[in-house]
């Protein structure tokens, strides 16, 4: 594990539960590598204009849960993402 990386893992009884991986600023794309989905919970500048094509290649599935509503739902759809805009009341999955 890198020096600026931390993991939060559920108790061993949850053997099928996913591992939550968080990585400090500066290596945002590493957090997406091999992840089941991307959850945006910050408004840091490095997350405001990502390379969506790169994200799509790094993620296991093109799914974004955007808790800060940083992205335009239409743009996420054009890049092929299932996009959940937390708090907006709609998502591309249901649209």
55 vs 31, more confident: 55
Q: What pTM did the predictor assign? A: 0.68
Q: 8 exposed, middle or buried (CB, 10 Å; 0-12, 13-18, 19+)?
A: exposed
Q: Could you read off the pLDDT of 38-50 as tens digits, one per residue?
A: 888 888 777 788 8
- Domains in the chain: ranges and CATH: 5-85 (3.40.50.720)
Q: How confident is the model at residue 3 (pLDDT cuts 50, 70, 90)?
A: very low
Q: What are phi and psi of 5, to 5 degrees?
A: -115, 145
Left if phi > 0, otherwise alpha if psi is -120 to 50, otherwise beta: which for 92? alpha
88 compared with 39, residue with greater pLDDT: 39
Q: Which residues have C-beta within 8 Å of that of residue 3, sequence separation ≥ 6? A: none
* Burial label, 65 (beta-carbon count in 10 A; 0-12, 13-18, 19+): middle
């Amino acid at each position: 594990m890198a020096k600026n990386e931390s993991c939060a893992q559920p108790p061993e009884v949850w053997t099928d539960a996913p591992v939550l991986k968080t990585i400090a600023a500066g290596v945002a794309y590493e957090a997406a590598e091999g992840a089941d989905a991307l959850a945006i919970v910050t408004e840091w500048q490095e997350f405001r204009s990502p390379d969506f094509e790169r994200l799509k290649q790094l993620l296991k599935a093109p799914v974004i849960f955007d808790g800060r509503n940083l992205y335009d739902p239409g743009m996420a759809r054009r890049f092929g993402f299932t996009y959940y805009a937390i708090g907006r009341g709609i998502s591309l999955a249901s649209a």
